[in-house]
Amino acid sequence: MLDDADDIHPLFYGAPKTTEFKKLRKRIVQYTREAIEQYGMIERGARWLVCLSGGKDSYTLLAVLYELKWRGLLPVDLLACNLDQGQPGFPATVLPEFLKKMDVPHRVEYQDTYSIVVDKVPQGRTYCALCSRLRRGNLYRIAREEGCSAVVLGHHRDDILETFFMNLFHGGRLATMPPKLVNEEGDLFVYRPLAHVAEADCEKFARSMNYPIIPCDLCGSQDGLQRQQVKQILDQWEKNSPGRRQVMFRSLMNARPSHLLDPKLFDFAGLTRDSGEVTENPQEIPKLR
Q: Is 44 exposed, middle or buried (0-12, 13-18, 19+ CB in 10 A)?
A: exposed
Q: Is 218 helix (H, G, I), strand (E, B) or coil?
A: helix
CATH fit for domain 2-224, picks 3.40.50.620, 3.30.1540.20, 3.30.300.30, 3.90.1150.10 = 3.40.50.620
Model confidence pTM above 0.85: yes
Q: Is 20 exposed, middle or buried (0-12, 13-18, 19+ CB in 10 A)?
A: exposed
| Per-residue pLDDT, 96 | 95
| Per-residue pLDDT, 223 | 44
Helices (H), 123-212: 128-145, 157-166, 199-208
pLDDT by residue for the chain (289 residues), tens digit each? Answer: 445 544 578 899 889 999 999 999 999 999 999 999 999 999 988 999 999 999 999 999 999 999 999 999 999 999 999 999 888 888 989 999 999 999 999 999 999 888 888 888 887 777 777 888 899 999 999 999 999 999 999 999 999 999 999 999 999 999 999 999 999 999 999 999 999 999 999 999 999 999 999 986 555 445 447 888 899 999 999 999 999 999 999 999 999 999 999 999 999 999 998 876 655 555 565 665 5
Give the span between the Cα atoms of 210 and 267, in whole angstroms. Answer: 53
Q: Which of 60, 240, 66 is nearest to 153 (CA)?
A: 60
Contacts of 160 (CB under 8 A, 6+ apart): 176, 177, 179, 192, 195, 249, 252
| Per-residue pLDDT, 220 | 46
Ramachandran bin of 88, using left for φ above 0, alpha for ψ from -120 to 50, beta for the remaining angles: beta
At 189, phi and psi to the nearest 5? -85, 150
* Helix (H), strand (E) counts: the chain: 10, 6
Q: Per DSSP, what are the bridge partners of residue 82?
A: 108
Sheet holding 77-84, edge to edge: 106-110, 77-84, 47-51, 150-152, 189-191, 180-182
Q: Per DSSP, what are the bridge partners of residue 189?
A: 150, 182
Give the span between the Cα atoms of 177 and 163, in whole angstroms. Answer: 7
Q: Which of 56, 105, 107, 79 is nearest to 212 (CA)?
A: 56
The domain limits of the chain are 2-224
